[in-house]
Chain A
């Protein structure tokens, strides 16, 4: 039978939650409007929205806060700001977001490593949760639908129970106090687990064939759909904070009135803003919405092929639901690019 797999009855979830919350603050998806969810601190398991698929902002906000102080200075010294970091538990992280965190780890640990990010990452426990895709989910096309790492514990919904996978030493420690609530997974549990994941694999209604993504993105750089989309683009930047793998920030120095001290803050930025690529002499290397929009798509679908060998889109669908102009529909865009590309290649072959 599967190693480190236990069965947690849904009836015992309250106790499981109690035990987790003894370790630190628990953050989980809660419902914030008719259509939206947000990771927030939860005091009781009853606050958790188990049905939530995508939150407005992804869990990256707990490791890479929207705004933070980086250093403080005065007339004699510059001091790196060391934030106080409490142990935190993220509950209900779905496969796409686990993959997103994995990509952020790669980026933030590539030298020079970002100590603020890493320290927060190291003092966290991640509890994954299975999900059923809706019409915007396409993690399957991006190959991020089955989590292989990035979590300490993972719960798969197998009916009246959860199948609890314990992945790390931190995970072992976290379940230790509730061992009496758990039982080792048996044959029947294993079949329920397999049935869940195979049903889920069948449940995707959104997606594309990813095999030629790389060449299509390279070849369709001048496709007219970029201009058509850019005519609608508001340059509002909503597509980037919501993306689990967007990491760009701005640095701003805030001086104090006394003229001798101040601090440097970083705040999330967006490549969709015209000022993002504005450099000296008022030159801008991505002046129009079309330049910025294409850049973003490229970054998500092609830009990290070399040298990292992965795409930075994890198929969560957040950009699609957060774009007021309705143009961040990655799946439709890829399909349209693939269609013109195929027509072209056929034509060339004849």
Chain B
């Protein structure tokens, strides 16, 4: 990519990854054409080979902190970036890897996958905000392109972006879907999951499994009660609620012995 003088005056953005599936990166790549007239991409190792490591206006980081070198990289990114934005469930909540770590021991998982001599060092997966100050968090699995572009537009104006934390049920009702939790007794997690996907799963007649991570102030205990009344076992329900990295603190009312950070 050649750099013209005009590009140099544009705000600089970087797209970096820690441990994740790269879903966010694909969404950004898909929408690059819309971004390019307004930003200069100084680093995007997934998409370009020549990357700079100087100061950046906005760095988007996907992936969770799951290995020791992720922590170093994240701290370096923080010190280089004016705005640090966590994108995707992995970066915001820790996603399935954090969900697994809250239910199994990381050592056991490492052994199950790599045997006695693991070539990697694994940490219990954690979201970015456990390690550095994060300016805004845009969840998704993967992120919603419209939300991403609107967050970027706000940041380019130096405004803190608006990101909804209302539940999936709102989007579901605004689409006027029949409720699968009520009508089909499916274990829909829409009431406790953050909106953004447009209630994708219930719109297709399936239960939400919580991939966007928790909504603001999710009523986990009530959700578990309702699902148990529908015949789901408590361990099954808890496992479902924790799959996408919902932290233990949200279950304090249900599991009094849970570690409250």
Q: Measuring CB to CB, which residues of chain A are less than 8 angstroms from any residue of chain B?
A: 32-36, 38, 56-57, 61, 66-67, 231-238, 241-242, 252-259, 262, 267-270, 273-275, 289, 321-322, 324-325
Which residue from A236, A242, A259 sits with its C-beta under 8 Å from B191?
A236
* Per-position binary interface string of chain B over residues 178-197, scored 1 when its CB falls under 8 Å from any chain A CB and 0 otherwise: 11011100001011100000
Chain B residues with CB under 8 Å of A235's CB are: 167, 191, 217-219
Known contacts A232-B222, A257-B152, A322-B179, then 10 further A-B pairs from the complex at CB < 8 Å, ordered by chain A residue: A35-B182, A57-B173, A231-B221, A234-B219, A235-B217, A235-B218, A237-B170, A241-B173, A268-B174, A274-B216
Are A257 and B166 in contact, CB atoms less than 8 angstroms apart? no
Question: Of B178, B192, B219, B226, which is within 8 A of A35 by CB?
Answer: B178
Q: Chain B residues with Cβ under 8 A from A67's Cβ?
A: 174
Q: Is the CB of B153 within 8 A of A257?
A: yes
Q: What is the total of A-B residue contacts with beta carbons within 8 Å?
A: 111
Q: Which B residue sits closest to A275, measured CB to CB?
A: B216
- Give the contact stretch, choosing among B67-75, B98-106, B155-163: B155-163
B173's partner among A231, A233, A242 (CB-CB below 8 A) is A242
How many B residues face the partner with a CB closer than 8 A?
A: 40
Say yes or no: B174 contacts A253, CB within 8 Å.
no
Residues of B within 8 A of A258 (CB): 37-38
Cβ A273 vs Cβ B174 within 8 A:
no
Residue from B37, B162, B183, B219 in contact with A34 in the complex, judged by beta carbons closer than 8 Å: B183
Chief secondary structure at chain B's binding surface: helix
Lowest 10 CB-CB distances: which A-B pairs, in order?
Answer: A236-B191, A33-B178, A234-B191, A274-B217, A255-B153, A236-B169, A36-B178, A66-B174, A241-B173, A56-B176
Residue of B nearest to A240 (CB): B173
- Given A35-B178, A255-B153, A234:B192 Cβ within 8 A: yes
| Interface status of B12 (Cβ within 8 A of chain A) | no
Whether B173 lies near A33 (C-beta < 8 A) is: no
How far does the Cβ of B30 sit from chain A's closest Cβ, in whole Å?
A: 15
**B35 interface residue (CB < 8 Å to A):** yes
- Rounded to whole angstroms, the CA-CA distance of A165 and B218 in the bound complex is 49
Q: Which chain A residues border B181 with CB–CB below 8 Å?
A: 324
The reply to whether A231 and B178 contact each other, CB–CB distance below 8 Å, is no
Contact status B162-A253, CB under 8 Å: yes
Residues of B within 8 A of A (CB): 34-35, 37-38, 149-150, 152-154, 156-157, 159, 162, 165-167, 169-170, 173-174, 176-179, 181-183, 188, 190-192, 216-219, 221-223, 225-226
CA distance A254 to B164 in the complex (A): 13
Partner of B176, one of A57, A231, A289: A57
Report the nearest B residue to A327, measured CB to CB. Answer: B222
Which residues of chain A are near B149, meaning CB under 8 Å?
257
Name the residue on A nearest B151 (C-beta).
A255
- Report the nearest A residue to B161, measured CB to CB: A255
- Cα distance A153–B178 in the bound complex, in angstroms: 29
Task: With CB as the reference atom, state the residue of chain A lying closest to B170.
Answer: A237
Q: Which residue of A lies closest to B169 (CB)?
A: A236
Q: Out of A241, A259, A275, which one reaches B165, CB within 8 Å?
A: A275
Q: Which residues of chain A come closer than 8 Å to B216, judged between CB atoms?
A: 273-275
Measured between beta carbons, the chain B residues less than 8 angstroms from A236 are 167, 169, 190-191
Closest to B182 in A: A324
A255 and B159 contact, CB distance less than 8 A = yes
CB-nearest residue of chain B to A254: B150
**Chain A residues closer than 8 Å to B178, beta-carbon distance:** 32-36, 56
Interface pairs (12), CB distance under 8 Å: A32-B176, A36-B178, A36-B183, A56-B176, A234-B169, A234-B222, A234-B226, A235-B218, A257-B156, A268-B170, A273-B170, A325-B222
Closest to A273 in B: B166
B53 to chain A, nearest CB (A): 25
Residues in A with CB closer than 8 Å to B192 are: 234
A257-B35, A257-B149, A259-B156 known; A238 and B169 CB under 8 Å?
A: yes
Q: Is the CB of B173 within 8 A of A238?
A: yes
Q: For residue B157, which residues in chain A have a CB less than 8 angstroms away from its CB? A: 255, 259
- Say yes or no: B153 contacts A262, CB within 8 Å: yes
Question: Do A237 and B222 touch across chains, with their CB atoms under 8 A apart?
Answer: no
Q: A234-B222, A257-B149 are in contact. Are A270 and B170 (CB under 8 A)?
A: yes
* B159: A residues at CB distance < 8 A: 255
Q: Which residues of B contact A322 (CB under 8 A)?
A: 173, 179, 182
User: Given known contacts A238-B169, A275-B165, is B153 in contact with A256 (CB within 8 Å)?
Assistant: yes
